Structure 1
Amino acid sequence: MWIEPYDQAASVLNVLSLTIAGGFTALFLLRAKHGAMEKQMKQSLDKHQDYFTYLSANIDGADALLPPPGHLSPIELKAIQSKLLEWIETIGGEYRDKLTALCRELGLVELERQRLRSSRHGIRMEAAYHLGVMRAAECTGELLKLLEREGSESTAFVVGRAAAKCAGAPEDLHSLLQLLTKYHPEAHQLIADIIASSSLDTAPLFAKLLHQENDEALLNVALIRLSKSNEPEMFGALDRLIVSESKEIRIKAAKLLLQYTHLLPLERIGELIRHPDWEIRAVAAKAVGEHQLEFYLDALADCMADEEWWVRYYSAKSLSRLGSAGFRVLCEAAAGSWNSASRESAWEAVHEELDRAETSASQGIQQIPYYNRLNFIYRRILGESGAGRHAHKTRISS
C-alpha cells in the first residue's frame, strides 16, 4: 500500500509529539514526587524539633544519646538521619563518636549496609557516602569490595573516601591505598587527600611505605601526605629515595629532606644545590633562605648564573633574606655577571629588597639603619652603573 510522503511526515510528527508529551509528563511527576518528599521531610524535621534540642543540650554529657521515643516512619527516620549526618560532618572528637553511636542504635548503619547491596548504582553510591559519614568501621570490608568493583570509574573516589573514613586499622588504609593506586595510578594528590580524611594517624603507615615500598604510585602518595607532617623517623628513607630512577619521586623526596636542614650535614645541602635536576637545585636554594643558612652565600652566588630561571629566582630570593651579606652578593651579581639573564635576575631582586627596606624604614625608626646600610652597599658596588635604575640614592635620616 502506498503512503503519501506528507502522511509519513504527519505520522512521525505524531510520534514525536506523543514522546515529548510523555517526557514532560514524566518530568512533572518526578518534580511533584520530589516536592512532596521535601514537604514530608520538612514536616518530619519540624515534628522532631524538640528531639534535636535534646541532642544539642546533651551531646557533651556523660551519658549516651537516646533515640527518639515511639515508632518512626521511614520518612521520619530519613529526616532524622539527614540532620545527624549534617552534624557529624561539622564536628569531631567525642561528640562525633556519640552521634555515630546513635546512628548505629537507630539502625541507620544496617539500613545503609543493605542499600550498599542494591542493584541500582546510584543507591550504592549514596549508601557508601552515608556509611562513610557515620564512620561505620564494620562496613570497611564491603566498601573495599565495592571499590574494586568500581575499578577505574570516577565514582571509585566516592567509595574510597567512605572507606577511609570507616577504616578501623592501618591495614585497612593500606588495602585502600593499593586499590586506589592500582586503578588510578596518576591521581596521587586526590588519593592523598582521601587517605587524610581517615580518623587514624596515617603518618606511621606512610613512613613505613617510604622504608619498604618500591611501587612508584604508592611512594608518590606517601611523599605528598608526609609533606604536611613532621616525622623525623622518615629521614633515612628520604636519602634512599633521592636517588630514585623516578624524577618525580626524587624531587618530592628532596623537598621533604630539606625540611630537616638541621639534621643534614653541610656538604649534603651543597650537593643538593648542585644537583643535576634543576627542580632540586631550585628547592635547595629556596630552603637556604627559609632556614637562614648564611654558610651557602657562595653557593647561591654560583646559582645566580644557573641556566634555569627558577634556580636564579629562588637563589635571589634567598640572598635577599640573608641580610646585608646576601644583599652584597646580589649587588655583585648585578654588577659583574657576564650573563644578561643572571644580571637581570639580580637587578630585580636588588630593587625589590631596597623597596622593601625603604617601606619598613618609613614605618619604624628601628629599620632605618638597615635601609641605610643596604643603600650604602648598593651605591658602593654599583656606583654610577646603578644611576637611573633605582631611586634610592640618598640616606634616610634617623
Structure 2
Amino acid sequence: MINQEILFLSILTSSLMCLLFLLLLYLIIRKSKEIKTRREIESYKNKINNQIFSIIAQGQVFRGMGCETAIKQRAMEELLSRYVKILEGEEEKKRLSDLATHCLQGYYQKRLKSKRWSYRMNALYHIEDFHMTKLLNEVVLLSKKKKLSHQEMIHVLRILASFQFKDLLDLLLNHYHYLSEYENRGILMRLNQDLFDQFVLSFHKSTPPLQFAILDVISLNKAIKYRVFTENIYLTYKGEVKLRALKALSEIGYVRNIEPYLQLLYSPNWQERMVAAKLIGSVKEEKGIPRLIELLHDQVWWVRSQAGQSISQFPNGKAILQSVLETSKDAFARDMAWDWLHKGV
C-alpha cells in the first residue's frame, strides 16, 4: 500500500515537473519572439525615420512607402505617435494624417472589426490622434454595434465630434441622452463653431447634463458670442442651469445690464453670492465694491475668497484690501484680505 502511494506521488511530481518545464519553455520561446519582433520594429523605425521626417516636415512624396506587414505597421504607428505629440503646424499635421491614412487605413479597418476590445480601443485612439477622417464611416458603423462597451462608445463619440460629424446632435439627443455632464463636455469641446451652434439652438430640448455641458463650454471658452443666449438662459431657467449660466457670464466678463446681478450679492444661496461676486470682479463694476467688502466677512470661505479675488481685480483693489486688513474687526476678513494682497508676491 505504501509503495503504491509512493509511486503515485512520484508520478504526480514528475507530471507537475513536466508541466512546469513546458510552461517555462513556452515563456522562453514567447519572450524570444517578442525580443525578435521588437528588434525588427526598431530596425525598421531606424530605416524609415529620416524619410518619415522629410515627408512630414518638407512634404516629400511618399510613394512606395508600404506597410504590408505587421512589423512595418507597428513601426509606422510608433513613429507617427511620436511625431504627433510634437507637431504644431497645420500643414505638418495634415501630412502626417495623409501618411497615416495611406499606410495604416486598412490596418485600422481590420482592428475596428476585431473581437478583441483592446484592439478596437487602440485603433480608436490612433484614429483620433492621426485625425484619419477617411475612417469616419467605419467609426460610425462601430457606434451602431449593440455590444459596444461604454468606454468605446464615449471614445467613438469624441472622434465623431473631432471629425465634425453632422449627425452628432441627433445621436446625443436621441440615442445617448444618458451621458454624464463630464462625458458630454469632453465631446462638445471638440466641435467647431457651426456644429456647436446646433447644440445651442437645441438647448431647450436637451437633457440637464447636456445643458450643463453646453454652458460649461461657453464658460471655458469665454465665448462672448453667446452672451445674449447665456443671459436669456439665466433669466429663463432656475436652479443649477441658472447658476451655470451665471458662471458663464462671469467668465465672459460682460453683461447688458449689471443691476439685476448686483442683487445676487445678497442672495441667501452662497453659490449665487460667490458667482455674483466673480461676475462683479470680471466686469469691474464699482457699484459692487461696498458689497464685496461686506462679503469678505461672509460665513462661507468660498464666498470670502471670491470677494477678495474680485476686489483685487479693481485698479484700487490693493488699497481696499489693505484698508480691510487694517480696520476690520473680523479675523477671517483680515486673513482673506492678507491672502489676496500677497497673491503672486
Q: Could you say which TM-score interval applies, normalised by the shorter chain?
A: 0.7 to 0.9
1:348 to 327, 332, 335: 335
Instruction: Confirm whether residue 318 of structure 1 aligns to residue 310 of structure 2.
Output: yes
Task: Note closer, same or farther for the CA distance 1:148–1:272 as it changes in structure 2 (3 Å cut).
Answer: farther
Task: Note closer, same or farther for the CA distance 1:272–1:54 as it changes in structure 2 (3 Å cut).
Answer: same
How many Å apart are 1:267 and its aligned residue?
1.4
Partner of residue 106, structure 2: 110
Partner of residue 36, structure 2: 36
* 1:193-248 deviation digits (Å, cap 9, x = unpaired): 354356776543443344x433112112222222222433422332354364552x
- Residue segments in structure 1 that go unaligned for 5+ positions in a row: 336-342, 360-398
Contact 1:164 1:176 in 2 (8 A): no
Distance 1:160 1:259 in 2: 27
Overall identity of the aligned pairs, in % = 20
* 1:259-292 deviation digits (Å, cap 9, x = unpaired): 3443231212213323343112112213323443
Contact 1:66 1:102 in 2 (8 A): yes
Partner of residue 174, structure 1: 169
Distance 1:131 1:260 in 2: 34
Letter of the aligned partner of 1:208 in structure 2?
A: L
Task: Note closer, same or farther for the CA distance 1:25–1:264 as it changes in structure 2 (3 Å cut).
Answer: farther
**Which runs of structure 2 are paired with 1:1-398 in the superposition (5 Å)?**
17=17, 20-56=20-56, 58-59=58-59, 65-68=61-64, 73-91=69-87, 92-106=89-103, 108-147=104-143, 149=145, 151=148, 153-165=150-162, 167-169=163-165, 171-174=166-169, 177=172, 182=177, 185-186=179-180, 188-197=181-190, 203-210=196-203, 212-242=204-234, 244-247=237-240, 249-322=241-314, 323=316, 326-327=320-321, 330=324, 334-335=328-329, 343-352=330-339
How many Å apart are 1:50 and its aligned residue?
4.9
* 1:76-114 deviation digits (Å, cap 9, x = unpaired): 3442343234334432512222232233334x2133113
How many Å apart are 1:295 and its aligned residue?
0.9
CA RMSD of aligned residues (A): 3.9
Letter of the aligned partner of 2:335 in structure 1?
A: E
Contact 2:322 2:341 in 1 (8 A): no
What secondary structure sits across from 1:306 in the alignment?
coil
* 1:48-77 deviation digits (Å, cap 9, x = unpaired): 345235425622xxxx73323689555334
* 1:152-199 deviation digits (Å, cap 9, x = unpaired): 53343444444443x244x2443564589545x33x335423543567
Contact 1:67 1:102 in 2 (8 A): no
Distance 1:353 1:80 in 2: 52
Pick 1 or 2: higher relative contact order, CA cutoff 8 A, min separation 6.
2
Larger radius of gyration: 1
Task: Note closer, same or farther for the CA distance 1:157–1:21 as it changes in structure 2 (3 Å cut).
Answer: farther
Alignment: residue pair count? 340
Distance 1:288 1:112 in 2: 52
Distance 2:10 2:256 in 1: 84
Task: Note closer, same or farther for the CA distance 1:145–1:89 as it changes in structure 2 (3 Å cut).
Answer: farther
